[in-house]
């Protein structure tokens, strides 16, 4: 008896999920090695923030335009180009050996990640018969990339922090060679260059302004100038999109309460996850936790996240997407609140169950948000809706290290100890989760207008 080869949709889901997992490795692996990078290069907290945000900002700025390019030129092709950029970014980061070279490599990898994120989700939306289930697996792959990175960093750390990029390059090339179907292109989609430029500029300037504000002060002239410029760029983006014949983002998508709730929830969760990854990696390093210890502490958060992502579609089918979104936010908020009780003597087990609880709640939100965003709009707009949800998600990922990193730098400069910083960040994130849960409940129980 012969073994039947996997069907074309199954191969496509495997390709899309593997691509998404690899695309996130540069972000999570570099974050886990921030302590080693600081020890080797003498980098300050602000310079380390850009190790995270060079990737996250580039990804956030690329997601929307990558969705357009995927619709115009093919989702499979754009996914493979994104993996190629992930490999190029890894080569640049490895070869440079300095923090500025690492920034450049991370930025290139971030552009690649944005291409992979938009194109791979669109590929699944267009080709997978069981779309909600496939999207849950895709969301689990995002988490897999976040969780695998710290372990990859621990494995390669004895060879130096630069060595972590070698397996990332190899994996990116290998996944790009996997077979996949192609998605049919929607009709009438244009490139909307003004929208791409103003949207990307607004995201970059907003992140720069927050980082500069945390370092130089919120009344610093440069901080004010950058934030005003960010506001102007974002207003220009809204004006451009409202008038464009073929917009990058149709603003009437936000008339759908489900679409808006999904974007808000995804943004807050990724802000919390990326910010926590940045802050905890540094604080564990300051406490002289070894690389494997850091990987395990962070890994349990992503293990809970991945398990919840896989189960999310079944839970949503049984209890409703709104209930899963709100419950996930509340669970993540409760888990974050438990960090208020950690002390200098809290060990692996003490952090493990707390972070696993955060990951469990975040995983429910991440998987459900993507599915809700796609389901809240007509089929031809699924690619745009997925790209928009990813853009909001990645805006959160960019703001996380910027906001929490600024808190970290300011409080350590003021003389606070590491545990006090954890308590401050935990209190802020717990409040954000609960407030977002309330907002999501209101948005999903108020009848919206479909675009």
- Give residue limits of the domains in the chain: 8-179+244-445, 195-243
> Residue 3 — very low, low, confident or very high, per pLDDT cuts 50/70/90?
very low
CA distance 301 to 303: 6
d(CA 210, CA 217): 10
Please name which of 270, 31, 30 lies closest in space to residue 143, comparing C-alpha atoms.
270
Q: Rounded CA gap, 337 and 431, in Å?
A: 9
18 pLDDT above the threshold of 50: yes
- Is there a contact between 236 and 208 (Cβ–Cβ < 8 Å)? no
What rounded mean pLDDT belongs to the chain?
A: 86
Residue of 430, 193, 413, 196 whose CA lies nearest to 332: 430
For residue 1, what pLDDT is reported?
A: 38
* DSSP type of residue 24: T
Checking 164-169 for CB contacts under 8 A at 24+ apart, the result is 164/29, 164/30, 164/33, 165/26, 165/29, 165/90, 165/91, 165/93, 165/94, 165/105, 166/90, 166/94, 168/22, 168/25, 168/26, 168/29, 168/86, 168/87, 168/90, 169/86, 169/87, 169/90, 169/91, 169/94
* Spatial separation of the C-alpha atoms in residues 222 and 220, rounded to whole Å: 6
pLDDT of residue 243: 87
- Write out pLDDT tens, residues 319-355: 988 899 999 999 999 999 999 999 888 888 999 999 9
In this predicted structure, what is the pLDDT of residue 236? 95
Q: Which residue has the higher pLDDT, 448 or 419?
A: 419
**Would you say residue 247 has pLDDT above 60?**
yes
Q: Residue 447: is its pLDDT beyond 60?
A: no
Supply the pTM of this predicted model: 0.81
The pLDDT value given to residue 184: 59
CATH superfamily of 8-179+244-445: MFS general substrate transporter like domains (1.20.1250.20)
List of long-range contacts for 101-108, beta carbons under 8 Å, 24+ apart: 102/30, 102/37, 102/51, 102/54, 103/50, 103/51, 103/54, 104/54, 105/26, 105/165, 106/26, 106/27, 106/30, 106/51, 106/52, 106/54, 106/55, 106/58, 107/54, 107/55, 107/57, 107/58, 108/58
CA 328, CA 84: separation in Å to the nearest integer?
Answer: 34
Look at residue 356 in the predicted model and tell me its pLDDT.
Answer: 92
Identify which of 146, 116, 421, 94 has the alpha carbon closest to the alpha carbon of residue 284.
Answer: 421
Residues 419 and 206: their CA atoms lie apart, in Å, by: 28
| Spatial CA neighbour of 167 closest among 183, 194, 186, 149 | 149
d(CA 79, CA 153) in angstroms, rounded, equals 25
Q: What is the pLDDT of residue 5?
A: 42
**Residue 4 pLDDT class (50, 70, 90 cuts):** very low
DSSP of 307-344: HHHHHHHHHHHHH-HHHHHHHHHHHHHHHHHHGGG--T
pLDDT computed for residue 125 by the predictor? 72
Residue in the block written with tokens 């709009």? 377
Indicate the DSSP class of residue 98: S
Sign of the CA dihedral with 143 first, then 144, 145, and 147 last: positive
Count of CB atoms situated within 10 Å of the CB of 301: 29
Cα–Cα separations (whole angstroms), residue 4 to 8, 27, 73, 124, 347: 12, 37, 31, 22, 49
Mean pLDDT of all residues in 379-403: 80
Q: How far apart are CA 125 and CA 134, in angstroms?
A: 8
Q: Residue 36 is inside which H or E element, if any?
A: helix 34-41
Q: What pLDDT is attached to residue 152?
A: 93
* Structure tokens that stand for 422 in this block: 């954890």
Q: What is the DSSP-derived secondary structure letter of residue 339?
A: G
34-43, 166-175, 375-384: which range is least confident on average?
375-384
Residues 263-274: tens digit of each pLDDT: 999 999 999 998
Place of tokens 């690389």: 291
Residues 192, 72: Cα–Cα separation, whole Å? 12
């Amino acid at each position: 008896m012969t073994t039947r080869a996997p069907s074309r949709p199954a191969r496509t889901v495997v390709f899309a999920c593997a691509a998404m997992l690899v695309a996130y490795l540069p972000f999570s692996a570099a974050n886990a090695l921030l302590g080693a990078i600081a020890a080797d290069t003498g980098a300050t907290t602000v310079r380390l923030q850009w190790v995270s945000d060079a990737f996250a900002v580039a990804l956030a700025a690329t997601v929307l335009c990558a969705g357009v390019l995927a619709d115009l030129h093919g989702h499979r092709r754009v996914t493979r180009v994104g993996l190629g950029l992930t490999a190029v970014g890894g080569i640049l980061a490895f070869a440079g050996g300095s923090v500025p070279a690492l920034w450049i490599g991370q930025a290139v990898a971030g552009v690649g990640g944005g291409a992979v994120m938009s194109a791979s989700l669109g590929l699944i939306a267009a080709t997978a018969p069981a779309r909600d289930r496939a999207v849950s697996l895709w969301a689990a792959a995002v988490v897999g990339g976040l969780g695998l990175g710290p372990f990859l960093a621990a494995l390669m750390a004895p060879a130096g922090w630069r060595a972590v990029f070698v397996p990332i390059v190899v994996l990116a090339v290998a996944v790009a060679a996997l077979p996949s179907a192609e998605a049919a292109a929607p009709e009438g989609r244009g490139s909307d260059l003004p929208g791409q430029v103003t949207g990307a500029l607004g995201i970059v300037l907003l992140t720069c302004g927050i980082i500069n504000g945390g370092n130089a002060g919120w009344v610093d002239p440069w901080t004010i100038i950058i934030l005003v410029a960010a506001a102007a760029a974002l207003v220009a983006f809204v004006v451009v999109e409202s008038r464009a014949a073929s917009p990058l983002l149709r603003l009437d998508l936000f008339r759908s309460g489900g679409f808006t709730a999904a974007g808000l929830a995804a943004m807050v969760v990724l802000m919390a996850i990326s910010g926590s990854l940045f802050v905890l990696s540094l604080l564990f390093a300051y406490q002289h936790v070894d690389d494997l210890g850091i990987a395990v502490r962070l890994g349990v958060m992503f293990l809970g996240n991945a398990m919840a992502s896989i189960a999310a579609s079944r839970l949503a089918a049984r209890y409703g997407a709104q209930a899963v979104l709100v419950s996930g936010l509340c669970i993540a908020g409760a888990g974050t609140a438990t960090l208020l009780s950690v002390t200098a003597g809290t060990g692996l087990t003490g952090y493990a169950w707390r972070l696993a609880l955060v990951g469990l709640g975040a995983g429910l939100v991440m998987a459900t948000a993507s599915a809700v965003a796609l389901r809240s709009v007509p089929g031809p707009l699924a690619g745009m809706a997925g790209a928009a949800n990813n853009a909001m998600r990645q805006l959160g990922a960019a703001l996380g290290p910027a906001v929490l990193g600024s808190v970290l730098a300011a409080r350590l400069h003021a003389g606070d100890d590491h545990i006090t910083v954890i308590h401050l960040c935990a209190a802020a994130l717990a409040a954000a989760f609960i407030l977002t849960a309330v907002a999501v409940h209101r948005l999903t129980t108020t009848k919206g207008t479909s675009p």
